[in-house]
Amino acid sequence: MLMLASALAGVFSLSAQLTLREGSFRLRPNDTEILINRNSPKERVKITDDNGKLCSLIKIYTENMTEADRKVFIKPSYRETDRATFITKIETDHVNEIWIFLSPGASYMVLKHPDYGNCKFDFTAMGVTLLSGKVYEATITGDRKVYESILARDAKASTGDEDKYQYLVITASPSNAEIYINGEFSGTGEASKRLPMGMRHAYRVEAPMYHSQEGTLEISERTSLPITLKPAFGYVSVFSVPESGAEVYVDNELLGVTPLESDKRLVSGEHTLRVSKRDFRPVEQKITITDDTRIPVNIDMSAIFASLNITAGEGVAIYIDGEKAGDETWSGRLSEGSHLIEGRKAGHISSSLDYLARAGVSENLLLDAPVPIYGKLEISGSPTNARVSLNGREIGYSPDIFSNILIGQYELNLSKDGYIPQKQIITIEESKTTVVTASLEIRKTIPVEIELESPVRLRNVSLNIDGESKGAYFSGELNVGTRQVKAEYNGFSEDFVIEVSPDGNRHFKLPVTARVRLNSLPDKAMVFVDGEERGQTPLLLRLPLGKHTILMKKDQLSTDRIVTLGLGDDLAETYTLRKYNAYSFISYVASYQAPYGGIMYGFCRNWGFYTKAQINLKMLFDTNKHDVIRNVEEYAGLPKQYESANRLSVTLGGMKRLNSWMYMYFGAGYGEYEPLYSITGYPDCYFSPRPVKGPEAEVGMILKWKGLTLSAGYGALMPLSFDTRQLFTDVHLGVGFVINHH
């Protein structure tokens, strides 16, 4: 039987062919495996050839080959190149792969196998020049019949001893992957099987939209085999110009609208992409999806409309093809062809335009103004000098003849102080005079309310109106016009003047005030009370009781204070103006990346400086997890969980006073940011895929309110080795207090 198996293997070796899959040989631009130390960490030696040059690395993925088959190529007699020294090292301890370290510049390479035959890599014919320190990949496939005969030969060599069995456990990702052991379906996601030891067993894992993975192994104890299938799908991103919002179809299935970052998995290969939107011609093209890659597609869409901006006169309504489109201005799209555009306005002859819309044309259009149609209005009667208003717009006084009144209906309003207003609807007709005779009734009194307003309780309040005592609160009728009010309270008195008007205030709240005399050094400073300009020093004011903010300015000098006025106060205040007050700002600053925050200190008069330090090194002091792994390629595929980040930021810069409560700061310094992930199966390590270190710039604002401050800033950390994908930005917020240095 063994002789028969050997004979079969010999027959297959004569006719079998070890095949290099077409198109599988390519450069892996982001793979830095060749640069990693291949010996012990202390020696720090990289793989070089006999000439001292850093080798090229070819990672060859094998199909229909066992681990023993791959180990054959370690012997020099089973490989060939154009120079004896070109193949420096071969590694076969990688799952389903052979790693060949080859001198750069080789023209060809041949792998020879006693069972599968030969496979030639003709780099010259492929137009490939192997570069030093670069990593390439390829796939070779053995003959399936030879592969199965080898497995059958191994199975027949089994002793059949029932005591020499053990379990093979396979876990697969994704979870819907089907697992086959020795050609039999064994489970989905995970499977186990009792197998004889001391012989080779075949496995195959496959899932929809993933590349299948197969191989053989020999077990001598319970064996766990985790397998992660490589995706056989990708994604597409579609962007449309000049506009977004276009519908995106792939193979007649709607994925969404542009800009589209589709999450739908598309099988690797060719697909039909169609993008459509109203008023644009649809676009259809072929796209090729590659494994685990997002393909960006930019679509230029052609318009089948004209873009039009229409401007008309004030109060003119714009009509297009008999339908109202807008008032005074309109911007939009018109389909190709002829359109009637009109400008309509009450009391006017409409303007019109026949417009021919052409696809892809953008145009600004100014409509002719509609022609007005006028009539006249004559107002007579009594009293004289009554205000005349049409639709709320005052046009003059009676009696008068008003010309150039647009035709149409109006609400006429006649009014005069001390008289009851009169309203009526009139019609102005073309080239005619509308006559109205006014007769307004005299209004003698108006109901009003008068009271004192004070933040403190008042005693013995008395109101005297035009010399008549009215008590502590007045509610009644007063004659129209100017009224003199004298208020007495708590042994003090104060005079007020109010205007009683039919159209004015009906409820008067008279504020109780106190006197304050304001002086400044130097004098003639502009005085602002509660943000309102009140004059120049020296200045005597009566202000309501309570707190007031007083600001004085002259040239580049200023000062501000808060004054509290009480009942009966008669204060004299003298302010010395300075060239801005100097402030120290002390804040606690924190951000999402550095939640433990830092300290910011600033000093500013008109100009100043600041310094800020933020740090979050909590993870460095975690005694349970202290090693940080930065080998992205080796650990990127493992399950990981975000934990925290190391963050350092030290900046220094300038400050500028924008006004009394707002300051701006800007500066630069040095920063570090290193996100940390815990790795499943590595409890004592953190994984850091993107550490960023380098100069940092920031800008921000500080708001000052009394003795407190709020701050917000934006910083950008730029790596020393320029890589835009590693650019890190940070928003930090702060709260603190201010010290006033007068």
How confident is the model at residue 247, as a pLDDT?
A: 95
Helix axes 2-15, 144-156, angle to 10 degrees: 170
Query: Do 542 and 619 belong together in one domain?
Result: no
pLDDT digits (tens, 9 = 90+) for 569-619: 889 989 888 776 788 999 999 887 777 778 999 999 778 999 999 887 554
pLDDT digits (tens, 9 = 90+) for 696-736: 999 999 999 888 999 999 999 888 765 445 678 889 899 99
Query: Do 430 and 449 belong together in one domain?
Result: no
Residue 227: how many CA atoms within 13 Å on its side-chain side?
32
Look at residue 14 and tell me whether its pLDDT is greater than 50: no
Query: Do 596 and 736 belong together in one domain?
Result: yes
577 within some domain: no
589 within some domain: yes
Look at residue 638 and tell me whether its pLDDT is greater than 80: no
Quickly list DSSP for 128-172.
--PPTT-EEEEEEE--HHHHHHHHHHHHHT----TTSEEEEEEEE
Q: Are the C-beta atoms of residues 6 and 105 closer than 8 Å to each other?
A: no
Between CA 485 and CA 232 the distance in angstroms is: 91
569 within some domain: no
How confident is the model at residue 7, as a pLDDT?
A: 37
Look at residue 38 and tell me whether its pLDDT is greater than 60: no
355 within some domain: yes
Query: Do 252 and 336 belong together in one domain?
Result: no
63 within some domain: yes
Look at residue 56 and tell me whether its pLDDT is greater than 80: yes
Query: Do 280 and 206 belong together in one domain?
Result: no
DSSP 3-state percent helix, strand, coil across the chain (nearest 5): 10, 60, 30
575 within some domain: no
**Residue-range definition of the domain harbouring residue 470:** 445-511
How confident is the model at residue 2, as a pLDDT?
A: 36
Beta bridge partner(s), residue 287: 271
Nearest to 617 by CA among 596, 631, 599: 596
48 versus 434: the higher-pLDDT residue is 434
197 versus 684: the higher-pLDDT residue is 197
Q: How confident is the model at residue 183 (pLDDT cuts 50, 70, 90)?
A: confident
pLDDT digits (tens, 9 = 90+) for 451-494: 988 888 888 889 999 888 988 899 988 888 888 999 998 888 88
Query: Do 385 and 312 belong together in one domain?
Result: no
Between CA 333 and CA 488 the distance in angstroms is: 71
673 within some domain: yes
Mean pLDDT of the chain: 84
Asked which of 532, 564, 596 is the last residue of a domain, the reply is 564
151 within some domain: no
pLDDT digits (tens, 9 = 90+) for 88-126: 788 877 777 898 888 888 888 999 888 888 899 998 889
Q: How confident is the model at residue 5 (pLDDT cuts 50, 70, 90)?
A: very low
Query: Do 290 and 309 belong together in one domain?
Result: no
Look at residue 288 and tell me whether its pLDDT is greater than 90: yes
Query: Do 196 and 70 belong together in one domain?
Result: no
β strands within 229-373, DSSP E: 233-241, 247-250, 253-257, 260-261, 266-267, 269-276, 283-289, 294-300, 305-311, 317-320, 323-327, 329-335, 337-344, 348-349, 351-357, 362-366, 371-372
Q: How confident is the model at residue 405 (pLDDT cuts 50, 70, 90)?
A: confident
Look at residue 39 and tell me whether its pLDDT is greater than 70: no
- CATH (domain of 405): 2.60.40.1120
Asked which of 389, 418, 439 is the last residue of a domain, the reply is 439
Query: Do 282 and 360 belong together in one domain?
Result: no
How confident is the model at residue 188, as a pLDDT?
A: 93
Query: Do 491 and 461 belong together in one domain?
Result: yes
Query: Do 614 and 629 belong together in one domain?
Result: yes
Model-wide pTM > 0.75 = no
- CATH (domain of 704): 2.40.160.20
Total domains in the fold of the chain: 8
Query: Do 591 and 651 belong together in one domain?
Result: yes
Between CA 31 and CA 51 the distance in angstroms is: 24
